[in-house]
Amino acid sequence: MSDAPLHTQFNSIAQLREALVSRQVSAQELAQSALDAIQARADLNAFLHVDATLSLEQARDADRLLADGNAPALAGVPIGHKDLFVTQGWRTTAASKMLADYVSPFDATVVAQLRQAGAVSLGKLNCDEFGMGSSNEKSAFGPVKNPWNTATNPGGSSGGSAAAVAAGLLMGATATDTGGSIRRPAAMCGVSGIKPTYGTVSRYGVIANGSSLDQAGPIARSALDLLELLDPITAFDAADATSLEHCNGTPNQPGRVRHDFDRAVQAHQAAGSTPLKGLRIGVPDEFFSADIQPDVAATIDAALKQYESLGAERVRISLPRTSMSVPVYYVIGPAESSSNLSRFDGVRYGYRTAQYNDLDEMISRSRAEGFGSEVIRRIMVGTYVLSHGYYDAYYLQAQRLRRLIADDFRRALTEQCDVIMGPVAPTVAGDLGTEGSPTEEWTADIFTVSANLAGLPAMSIPCGFASKRNLPVGLQLIGNYFCEGQLLAIAHAYQNVTDWHQRKPEQQ
Ligand code: GLN
């Protein structure tokens, strides 16, 4: 068994920062010990690209700032990036053969912001190809193993991010969520993750999947650590056409999420022994459908009881179009991805086939050989629903339903409750190599895709274990637009009185 990396001695990013600032530990020591641990856990296949020279250079920079006494908030904190975020120096593959050798000439905005905040990147994390999948088994470079049980998958698509944090290899990681890819792997690996409101975190330099659904966000152990990582990346970015300058009249900039979080926590503290008194938790009937595994439902129910013991009130609500969310998502998502993926043609960059007679053949062979089967499936679905004759029947109809789904949430969150809670997924992590049919897999996204269709912030926090194998279960929290600070505070109130987020898998 290898030594655990140094940062695992600290329970939170805040604690680690104290040790760094007081020079009890150096960023270079932290980075080196994490690099060693990453190598020792190569069996997890969580990382697609590690470059010790680049990481240690960043750590040296952090140490210099720390020694000068004016280090930014995350100086020296070991993190990693999902391989959909482009990075200067490190390869960015999107877990696809199409981009196997691609090195970006620039950093994604989120990568640059976290670097600016002093965080040290330890490499690029495995995921489903172009973020398409729910188990990380769609990576062209092999699946990731779940550290809680290496015979199971870590959930996807950000499986590498969640597995690396769960295994203690990183303090936090970036991830993206188009239809659940932050929340699902966080849930299945027993860590916390947040998908912020659409438009609040820059998508610039994030390889596009479904542009109107994609949101970047962090995965970490606790709500407190998520706050540390989310606050500096929540900012208007002129380079992203859908980035928001204002959120309900407040500038979209670092400090906004922290301010809301602090205010909510102060209010909770003032309420004494029932910190969440007055909080109305909407629990949708549709989230406890017959499809949910009974022990997952029981674990979620226990978490809701815990919330009630903190003073919150459970309100039964209905999100009547829940069953339509998967078909709507799998029309709009593939429509957008098929358009986004048209840039991979073997001409400009990426994979090019070795054998062809003319341009058309070069393009079609490059795409057939460079993309995996799930990506090809989505290109076919996407071009079909956008084609003349089917556009009205599928794409337009899906857009109309998308609006109605968003309206259901808006109604519930303005008239009936302050936050919505339920499961992230109907089951715990599945065995590697036992993925069902494409439609079975798509159906398992039923509890996560609506937040993306509506653009709402949503998160997952660990709330217990289920199944004979004791695999982690995630509680989903969905808030109103721009309420990520309040959501994190509500999650923090739960983590104050429970220790699920501190449980760690034994090294297997
Ligand atoms: N499982 C969903 C899909 O395959 C979600 C993916 C994601 O959020 N990136 O589309």
Residue 336 pLDDT level (bands cut at 50, 70, 90):
very high
- Distance from C-alpha of 289 to C-alpha of 339, rounded to nearest angstrom: 34
Q: Is the pLDDT of residue 355 over 50?
A: yes
Predicted confidence at residue 459, as pLDDT, reads 98
- Distance from C-alpha of 175 to C-alpha of 504, rounded to nearest angstrom: 21
Check if 124 is active-site. Answer: no
Catalytic residue among 26, 134, 157, 222: 157
Catalytic residue among 55, 82, 192, 243: 82
**Residue percentage of the chain with pLDDT more than 90:** 95
The per-residue pLDDT for range 155-206, each reduced to its tens digit, is 999 999 999 999 999 999 999 999 999 999 999 999 999 999 999 999 999 9
Is the pTM value of this prediction over 0.75? yes
The DSSP bridge pattern shows strands 458-466 and 313-317 to be unpaired
- Distance from C-alpha of 159 to C-alpha of 219, rounded to nearest angstrom: 10
| Helices 322-340 & 373-386 angle (0-180, nearest 10) | 100
In this prediction, residues 47-57 reach a mean pLDDT of: 98
Please give the distance, rounded to the nearest whole angstrom, from the Cα atom of residue 422 to the centre of ligand 1. 19
Q: Is the CB–ligand 1 distance for residue 350 below 6 Å?
A: no
Q: Probe ligand 1: pick from 129, 188, 209, max atoms within 8 Å of CB?
A: 209
Residue 1 pLDDT level (bands cut at 50, 70, 90):
very low
The per-residue pLDDT for range 267-307, each reduced to its tens digit, is 999 999 999 999 999 999 999 987 899 999 999 999 999 99
Q: Is the separation of the CB atoms in 398 and 353 below 8 Å?
A: no
In this prediction, residues 92-116 reach a mean pLDDT of: 98
- Distance from C-alpha of 432 to C-alpha of 478, rounded to nearest angstrom: 29
**Residue percentage of the chain with pLDDT more than 70:** 99
Indicate the residue type of 344.
Answer: F
Q: Is the pLDDT of residue 482 over 50?
A: yes
Query: What is the overall mean pLDDT for the chain?
Result: 97
> What is the total residue count of the chain?
508
Check if 82 is active-site. Answer: yes
The DSSP bridge pattern shows strands 120-125 and 47-49 to be antiparallel
The per-residue pLDDT for range 211-245, each reduced to its tens digit, is 999 999 999 999 999 999 999 999 999 999 999 99
Question: Which of 100, 404, 342 has its CA nearest to residue 211?
Answer: 342
The per-residue pLDDT for range 370-425, each reduced to its tens digit, is 999 999 999 999 999 999 999 999 999 999 999 999 999 999 999 999 999 999 99
Q: Is the CB–ligand 1 distance for residue 147 below 6 Å?
A: no
Tokens of 207: 């390889």
Q: Is the CB–ligand 1 distance for residue 231 below 6 Å?
A: no
Residues 6 or more apart whose CB falls under 8 angstroms from that of 274 comprise 310, 311
Does residue 420 sit in helix, strand or coil? strand
Q: Is the CB–ligand 1 distance for residue 334 below 6 Å?
A: no
Q: Is the CB–ligand 1 distance for residue 58 below 6 Å?
A: no
Check if 181 is active-site. Answer: yes
Q: Is the pLDDT of residue 2 over 70?
A: no
The per-residue pLDDT for range 417-456, each reduced to its tens digit, is 999 999 999 999 999 999 888 888 899 999 999 999 999 9
